[in-house]
Amino acid sequence: MRIIMFAGKGGVGKTSIASATGLKAAGMGYKTLIMSLDIAHSLSDIFSLNKGLMDKNKGIPVKIEDRLWIQELDIQEEIQRNWGDVHKYIASLFHKAGLDEILAEELAILPGMEEVSSLLYINRYAHEGDFDVIILDCAPTGESLRFISIPTILEWYISKIFKIERRLVSYIRPVAKRFYDVPLPEDDYFKALENLFVRLEGVDNILTDPTITTVRLVTNPEKIVLKETQRSFLYFSLYKMCIDAVVMNRILPGNIEETYFNDWKESQRRYLELAEEYFSPVPIFHVVLFQNEPLGKERLKKFGEDIYGEHDPTEHFYTERPYEFNRKDGKFFIKIKLPFLTKEEIELNRLPEEMVIRVGGFKRHIPLPRYVSAYKDVTAKTDGTYLNIIFGGNRDEKEKTQR
Ligand SMILES: Nc1ncnc2c1ncn2[C@@H]1O[C@H](COP(=O)(O)OP(=O)(O)OP(=O)(O)O)[C@@H](O)[C@H]1O
Ligand SMILES: [Mg+2]
């Protein structure tokens, strides 16, 4: 079982690259599913599929080629399948608060329900072994981060809040009914939630197991896109997910003679270099800007060849976490694998939002979580394999003086 997530900023080429990857995987003999995690589904458009086929199979996997299925979740179907009593209760609350019934039903589709629905499918497919490969086509960055944060948040909610809330409501329900006209949830609501949690169990282990799941960040050689990719790199690493490749899409081919594009070519060249500093040692796949939109199976197949060449697209292109963040005894640590180095060779440069590590001609940028910027002292230690950067000291002092 293999899961590959394609994430990145809006419009960079995630769906096209996820589709090309799925097509190539299926062509190599893997039973493959491409699942869209974006409510603005575009998989079927990219495969140029007939709308009727998707409408007839709303929300379930549709076979579009030998060994290849695509799935575009339909939240209304999912509400009926998974969210019955939970949705009913929330809608009744909104209705009671004075909202029109239809609007209440619509608003009761809470943020996160779609993500949880996708997680339910992933968990089920992983346990039942329906597919060899699942390709996840993510929504633009912000929402895909919400997707990966949900298992952690749910775990916290279940262990810290859920049981207490359920018990509390059962105690106060009879009394509250007499004095309070907002309905408290019946136990069916809690049972439905509990049932969902049970079905989600273990999904976080699947997503953070680098032997199963890896993330591929899709980006373009442009300033703003690259900056956002760098942040996503940080966030996925913070969630302990393994990023096994970066796909650099829309590179202008070298053979364009037209002088109109000279500035573009020059700036792309600089950003390609910078991307090496940002993401190395994670491999970067370069993909050129096509002469036309890569739509339909034939062009997508060619797209897949351009990205992966001879490689099996399900390969683990990188297996380690490039860096790890830890906090201990009031200090914050970044651990990076940099073997064969002595401390003297390492030059650290602290910028407000990132750390630049220079070793001879090699440079790496590491974006810092925001709360680390309050730490003033930075030291580095190496044990011959790992470099540890330690942020400590002044943060506590600063907090003390503030108090
Ligand atoms: N290498 C390329 N050459 C030419 N066109 C491309 C290339 N990659 C993507 N496109 C086109 O760019 C557009 C956006 O691509 P796509 O939908 O895959 O991006 P996305 O990241 O999934 O966008 P969204 O964030 O909206 O989901 C599409 O029209 C697609 O055909
Ligand atoms: Mg897309």
Let me know whether 38 and 132 are in one domain. yes
Within a domain: 96 = no
The domain that contains 72 carries what CATH number? 3.40.50.300
CB 245 within 8 A of CB 274: no
The domain that contains 355 carries what CATH number? 2.60.40.790
The larger pLDDT score, comparing residue 221 to residue 200, is at 221
Within a domain: 14 = yes
pLDDT over 90 percentage in the chain? 37
Let me know whether 304 and 247 are in one domain. yes
Last residue of a domain, one of 244, 276, 308: 308
Quote the pLDDT of residue 155: 76
C-alpha 14 to ligand 2 mean position (Å): 5
pLDDT at 396 over 50: no
Last residue of a domain, one of 257, 282, 308: 308
Q: For ligand 1, pick from 15, 23, 232 the residue to mutate: most ligand atoms within 8 Å of CB.
A: 15
Let me know whether 381 and 338 are in one domain. yes
> How many C-alpha atoms does 93 have within 13 Å on its Cβ side?
13
Let me know whether 258 and 286 are in one domain. yes
C-alpha 25 to ligand 2 mean position (Å): 19
In the block, residue with structure tokens 């709308």: 51
C-alpha 338/C-alpha 135 separation (Å) is 31
- For residue 177, what pLDDT band results from cuts at 50, 70 and 90? low
Within a domain: 259 = yes
Let me know whether 332 and 266 are in one domain. no
CB 215 within 8 A of CB 242: yes
- Spatial CB neighbours of 192, under 8 Å, sequence gap ≥ 6: 83, 84, 85, 86
Residue 316 in tokens: 């683990």
Let me know whether 360 and 216 are in one domain. no
C-alpha 178 to ligand 2 mean position (Å): 50
- For residue 222, what pLDDT band results from cuts at 50, 70 and 90? very high
Last residue of a domain, one of 308, 338, 365: 308
Within a domain: 285 = yes
Nearest ligand 1 atom, CA 38: 27
Nearest ligand 1 atom, CA 18: 18
Q: For ligand 1, pick from 136, 217, 293 the residue to mutate: most ligand atoms within 8 Å of CB.
A: 293
pLDDT at 300 over 90: yes
Ligand 1 neighbours (beta carbon < 6 A): 8, 10-16, 38, 42, 140, 249-250, 287, 289-290, 293-295
Let me know whether 327 and 229 are in one domain. no
CB 32 within 8 A of CB 131: yes
Quote the pLDDT of residue 401: 37
Quote the pLDDT of residue 393: 64
The larger pLDDT score, comparing residue 336 to residue 290, is at 290
Quote the number of domains for the chain: 2
- The residue-averaged pLDDT of 166-176 equals 77
Look at 56-60, 79-83, 213-217 and tell me which has the smallest mean pLDDT: 79-83
- For residue 288, what pLDDT band results from cuts at 50, 70 and 90? very high
Give 57-77 pLDDT, tens digit per residue: 888 999 999 999 999 988 878
The protein residue with its alpha carbon nearest to ligand 1, atom 5, reads: 293
- For residue 397, what pLDDT band results from cuts at 50, 70 and 90? very low
Let me know whether 367 and 397 are in one domain. yes
Residue 290 in tokens: 């096509």
- The residue-averaged pLDDT of 223-250 equals 89
Quote the pLDDT of residue 251: 97
Quote the pLDDT of residue 339: 67
Give 309-318 pLDDT, tens digit per residue: 999 999 999 9
Residue 359 in tokens: 């070793």
Quote the pLDDT of residue 256: 84
What is the domain extent for residue 289? Answer: 2-76+115-146+204-308
Coil, strand, or helix at residue 2? strand
The protein residue with its alpha carbon nearest to ligand 1, atom 19, reads: 13
Let me know whether 241 and 371 are in one domain. no
- Work out the mean pLDDT of the chain and round it to a whole number: 85
- Element containing residue 323 per DSSP (H, E): strand 323-328
Let me know whether 263 and 385 are in one domain. no
Q: For ligand 1, pick from 16, 35, 291, 308 the residue to mutate: most ligand atoms within 8 Å of CB.
A: 16
A 10 A CB-CB count for 48 gives: 12
Within a domain: 36 = yes
- For residue 191, what pLDDT band results from cuts at 50, 70 and 90? confident
Let me know whether 341 and 294 are in one domain. no
pLDDT at 42 over 60: yes
C-alpha 23/C-alpha 65 separation (Å) is 9
- For residue 286, what pLDDT band results from cuts at 50, 70 and 90? very high
- Spatial CB neighbours of 279, under 8 Å, sequence gap ≥ 6: 217, 229, 233, 243, 246, 322
Within a domain: 314 = no
Let me know whether 328 and 382 are in one domain. yes
Within a domain: 272 = yes
C-alpha 31/C-alpha 68 separation (Å) is 6
C-alpha 13 to ligand 2 mean position (Å): 7
Residue 16 in tokens: 């096209």
The protein residue with its alpha carbon nearest to ligand 1, atom 16, reads: 13
The larger pLDDT score, comparing residue 191 to residue 2, is at 2
Residue 133 in tokens: 């490969």
- The residue-averaged pLDDT of 28-46 equals 92
Nearest ligand 1 atom, CA 292: 4
Within a domain: 191 = no
C-alpha 12 to ligand 2 mean position (Å): 8
